[in-house]
Amino acid sequence: MTLETQPPQQKRIRLLYAALIASLALNLLFIGGFVAAAWHHGHRWPKPEPGLLGFVRQLPPDRRDVVGKQISAARDSMKEVRANVRMAWREANALLTAEPFDKEKFKAALTHLADVEAGYKAALNDALAETAAILTPEERKLFQSWREKRRPRLLRPGERPGPGDEARPD
């Protein structure tokens, strides 16, 4: 009785062939996944416009241009003020590593920084008032609801006043 077996060389070729097909399938699976990820990257969620321009997208199309141009002009006019805030911050920060450390000079730089930041906030408030002045009553209501959804940076979530709450004394 003789058993016919395949020569070892032929077994190796079949195993190699099967391994190559499995490897090709796995490579195609990964390549397809990467292509799909690249294709869909950034398409799921629209990026919100920064600041007030996010509000402008909620306005009717005929009003978007007027309000958007006014906001852009206000933003452009504040570039120098923002640059002054950055410069004052850098100057105050540089004093931290200056040897010998001069506490009074550092406190003076922080006071200057606070003054420059106060001027920047005042300019922002003026721009906000100018924007509100050109809105219709319905648009101001929409603007108010848009602002209420935005979280104030200075207030913690537990300290955030609700609609109609009076300012809390400290």
CATH classification of the domain holding 113:
1.20.120
Distance of CA 103 to the CA centre of its chain: 36
Residue 165 within a domain: no
DSSP reduced 3-state for 157: helix
Which range of residues forms the domain containing residue 30? 9-41
Question: ∠15-20-25 over CA atoms, to 5°?
Answer: 125
Instruction: Note whether 130 and 74 are within 8 A (CB).
Output: yes
What's the rounded Cα separation, in Å, for the pair 166 and 78?
31
Total count of domains within the chain: 2
In a domain, 104, yes or no: yes
Pair 147, 125: CB distance under 8 Å: no
pLDDT at 26: 93
Q: Is residue 77 part of a domain?
A: yes
Tell me, yes or no, whether 22 and 87 share the same domain. no
Asked whether residue 18 is domain-assigned, the answer is yes
Is omega for the bond preceding 100 within 30 degrees of 0, making it cis?
yes
Does 111 reside within a domain? yes
Dist. CA 94–CA 110, nearest whole Å: 11
Q: What is the mean pLDDT of each successive set of 10 residues along the chain, which is 170 residues long?
A: 65 87 93 86 63 80 86 87 93 90 92 94 89 88 82 56 47
pLDDT at position 152: 62
Yes or no: say if 124 and 78 are a contact pair by the CB < 8 Å rule: yes
The answer to whether residues 60 and 124 belong to one domain is yes
21, 102: one domain: no
Are 79 and 125 part of one and the same domain?
yes
Q: Which residue has the tokens 């923002």?
A: 82
Q: Do residues 14 and 77 both lie within one domain?
A: no
Six-digit token string for 119: 């001027």
Same domain, 97 and 37: no
Task: Identify whether residues 66 and 22 lie together within a single domain.
Answer: no
